[in-house]
Amino acid sequence: MGSIREIKKKDGTTSFHAEVRMKGHVPCRGSFRTRTHAKKWIQDIESSIRDGRFFQTSEARKHTVGEMIDRFIDQWLPKFPQRQRKQTALLMWWKDQCGHLLLSDLSSAVLAECRDQLLLEITVRGKLRSPSTTNRYLSAIGKTLSVCKQEWGWIQTNPMENVAKPSEAPAKERFLSPDEKDRLLDACRESRNPNLLPLVGLALVTAMRFGELTGLSWRDVDFANRTITLHRTKNGETRVLPLTRRAEEIFKACSTYGSPHDELIFQSQRNQSQKKVTSVREAFRAATKRAGIEGVSFHTLRHSACSFLAMNGATLSELAEIMGHRTLQMVKRYSHFSQKHLRALMERAEGSLSNSKSLKEVL
């Protein structure tokens, strides 16, 4: 709500002090020579606040969306190398669409229009972009705006907070059955890519992500202390896993075993001289086709590994530690696999009470 005060100065002139107060925003004040200008200013400020276009500091009028994205890519993303490539690609789309705009002109309405455009675009696969993929684009710009607000002080409010994300279809959880696992491993043995079989085997044994596996160097595998140290994790935190007997056998069977400690374990076969990370997408796709397995990706191996752990008695907290999740929410999907373990636990508890007189009376 806006208000105007008329101020008489000592020299006889008059000025008009305007103030706008709206819930959730700090008061904004201005001084004008005429009441008309003061009223117009109040209307503009109230309108921009309601539309999510108001930024109190002058910084929002000094920087463009493109400058914000460039700074985020240069200064923030390097802290998370696992996300850097994908997040950069998402943010470059935003830079192409609205990088020329001043931050003061980036409103919730502009972001919502971009969201709708994302949903209508045809991807390289010839299909409409899915709501889940669209949400990744929205999350990328939302995080950038959040850092811009909280750490750089370029904006006072995040216009992304008022933009609704499209509803996603329920996630389809796909797990390999024991028979599918055996068929897949047999198909991987037939592959010409020497990295495919050890990568698939380790994913099924350790539940590591593809990026975590391909980012491993020999210094990360400690055969003496029997640990695997993951530095390139999704959340940017270092994670240490136990080196099991089967995992040790797989590592020692790799073609690069015995290389210097700073070399990657899984290297590209096409660019061996440049020591680039391997890519097995096409090889994995061909292996699943030979094995007659549909609807799976490399990430399915991670889900399958956790399902095997749960069926063998792993608790949710243990699964969270192995997978690198900070909360138990992400591992609740595996809880139904551990019902046999829980039933055995409850039956053991019942056995300790079987001689209780009070319990017999109840039964």
Q: What is the pLDDT of residue 51?
A: 67
Q: What are phi and psi of 208, to 5 degrees?
A: -80, 150
In the beta sheet, which residues pair with residue 269? none
Q: What is the pLDDT of residue 276?
A: 53
Judged against a pLDDT cut of 90, whether residue 289 lies above it is answered with yes
Judged against a pLDDT cut of 60, whether residue 272 lies above it is answered with no
Residue 152 burial by Cβ neighbours in a 10 Å radius (0-12, 13-18, 19+): middle
Task: Give CA–CA dist 332/360, Å, rounded.
Answer: 35
Nearest CA among 70, 78, 53 for reference residue 152: 70
Q: Predicted confidence band at 278 (pLDDT cuts at 50, 70, 90)?
A: low
Helix (H, G, I), strand (E, B) or coil at 303: helix
- 15 membership: H or E segment, kind and range: strand 14-20
In the beta sheet, which residues pair with residue 264? 217
Helix (H, G, I), strand (E, B) or coil at 64: strand
pTM above 0.75, yes or no: no
Q: What is the pLDDT of residue 221?
A: 94
Question: Are 31 and 16 spatial neighbours (Cβ–Cβ below 8 Å)?
Answer: yes
Question: Are 66 and 100 spatial neighbours (Cβ–Cβ below 8 Å)?
Answer: yes
- Mean pLDDT score, 28-45: 82
Question: Are 155 and 167 spatial neighbours (Cβ–Cβ below 8 Å)?
Answer: no
- Mean pLDDT score, 177-206: 91
Q: Which two tokens stand for residue 140?
A: 């990328």
Q: What is the pLDDT of residue 144?
A: 95
Task: Give CA–CA dist 205/305, Å, rounded.
Answer: 6
- Mean pLDDT score, 318-341: 71
Find tokens 């914000």 and name the residue.
68
Q: Predicted confidence band at 93 (pLDDT cuts at 50, 70, 90)?
A: very high
Q: What is the pLDDT of residue 334?
A: 66
Task: Give CA–CA dist 353/363, Å, rounded.
Answer: 12
Q: What is the pLDDT of residue 65?
A: 94
Nearest CA among 172, 210, 190 for reference residue 288: 190
Q: What is the pLDDT of residue 23?
A: 74
Task: Give CA–CA dist 104/23, Å, rounded.
Answer: 20
Nearest CA among 310, 322, 286, 281 for reference residue 298: 281
Mean pLDDT of the chain: 83
pLDDT digits (tens, 9 = 90+) for 133-149: 999 999 999 999 999 99
Q: What percentage of the chain exceeds 70 in pLDDT? A: 84
Q: What is the pLDDT of residue 359?
A: 45
Question: Are 104 and 60 spatial neighbours (Cβ–Cβ below 8 Å)?
Answer: yes
Judged against a pLDDT cut of 90, whether residue 200 lies above it is answered with yes
Which residues have CB under 8 Å from 147's CB, separation 6+? 72, 76
Judged against a pLDDT cut of 90, whether residue 118 lies above it is answered with yes
Q: Predicted confidence band at 349 (pLDDT cuts at 50, 70, 90)?
A: low
Judged against a pLDDT cut of 70, whether residue 113 lies above it is answered with yes
Give the C-alpha distances (Å, rounded to integers) separating 146 from 34, 48, 85, 152.
Answer: 38, 19, 20, 9
- 20 membership: H or E segment, kind and range: strand 14-20
Residue 15 burial by Cβ neighbours in a 10 Å radius (0-12, 13-18, 19+): middle
- Mean pLDDT score, 26-52: 79
Residue 73 burial by Cβ neighbours in a 10 Å radius (0-12, 13-18, 19+): middle
Q: Predicted confidence band at 55 (pLDDT cuts at 50, 70, 90)?
A: low
Q: What is the pLDDT of residue 20?
A: 84
Question: Are 98 and 114 spatial neighbours (Cβ–Cβ below 8 Å)?
Answer: yes
Q: Which range among 60-74, 142-156, 224-238 shows the weakest confidence by mean pLDDT?
A: 224-238
- Mean pLDDT score, 326-351: 66
Question: Are 55 and 159 spatial neighbours (Cβ–Cβ below 8 Å)?
Answer: no
Q: Predicted confidence band at 363 (pLDDT cuts at 50, 70, 90)?
A: very low
Q: Return the higher-pLDDT residue of 253 and 267.
A: 253
Q: What is the pLDDT of residue 211?
A: 87
